[in-house]
Copies of this chain bind each other. A is one copy, B any other.
Amino acid sequence: MAAETANALNAKSSTLADDVFDQIRTAIVKGELAPGSKINEPQLSKQYGISRGPLREAIRRLEGCKLVEIKPNVGANIVSLNISQLIEIYEIRESLEGLACRLAATNATAEDYLRLRELLTQHEEQIQSENGLRYYQREGDLDFHFQIVRLSGNARLFDILCGELYHLLRMYRVQTANEPSRPIQAFKEHYQIVDAIEQADGELAELLMNRHIANARKALMSRIEQE
């Protein structure tokens, strides 16, 4: 078994089901479990060293995150996003992250601005180096959005975006080998957004975030079309 789960040094887990849920989710997002592929319960339970009971609970949690699709009496498949589904996600992001931005602008404290600025500085440095730039494109971008959503103070909003949609986006980015995109432009837009939040201008922050996501969507679509 090549893909043995060699992380035996797990500090402590609450339940096997929750533990394996985390592991499988990571595997899916990293692309180790290919999109569209079938989940084989006996094989996975052997691989993770647990019985099928908690494994099936983990799969049901994955179903809740929309990372797998279960067909009765047939089994679960890793979800595979097509273009139109990806566009659907971007439409929702545009709407919800605009909201998050507006809320963040009214909630954020001086300390929060500082944190955001630190993150931006960090990203600026990363953009310099080739490896860093790749990291920025792959994870740093979502890190920024993650922080904004956190500052919104809306726990359910956080849940939907960070607990569900972002994982799907991460999965897709790995899947498509993560091409150039538009990192410098995106960084500039992040910068403007933080400015608006610092000025407590919720309306502007929302508008800028809407544009930011719309731009990302357009870049994505044009990149897909040219293939």
Which residues on A are within 8 Å of B, measured CB to CB? Answer: 14-15, 17-18, 53, 56-57, 60-61, 63-66, 72-73, 85, 88-89, 91-92, 94-96, 98-99, 103, 154-157, 159-160
Contacts and interface: CB of A to CB of B under 8 A. Distances in A.
A94 B99 CA distance: 9
A26 B153 CA distance: 30
B72 A14 contact: yes
A151 B61 CA distance: 28
A14 B160 CA distance: 28
Contacts of A94: 99
Most chain B CB atoms below 10 A, which of A61, A63, A92, A99 = A92
24 contacts: A14-B73, A15-B73, A17-B60, A18-B72, A57-B60, A60-B60, A60-B61, A60-B64, A61-B63, A61-B64, A63-B64, A64-B64, A64-B65, A66-B159, A85-B156, A88-B154, A88-B157, A89-B156, A91-B154, A92-B96, A92-B99, A92-B160, A94-B99, A95-B96
Secondary structure of the A side of the interface? helix
Nearest to A56: B57
Contacts of A65: 64
Contacts of A66: 156, 159
Count of this chain's copies in the oligomeric assembly? 2
A92 B57 contact: no
Contacts of A88: 154-157
Nearest to A89: B156
A50 to B, nearest CB: 14
Contact of A91 (B73, B99, B159): B99
**In the A-B complex, the 8 residue pairs with the closest CB atoms:** A64-B64, A14-B72, A60-B60, A95-B99, A88-B156, A88-B154, A95-B95, A15-B72
A169 to B, nearest CB: 12
A222 B200 CA distance: 26
Contacts of A17: 60
Given A14-B72, A73-B15, A92 B156 contact: yes
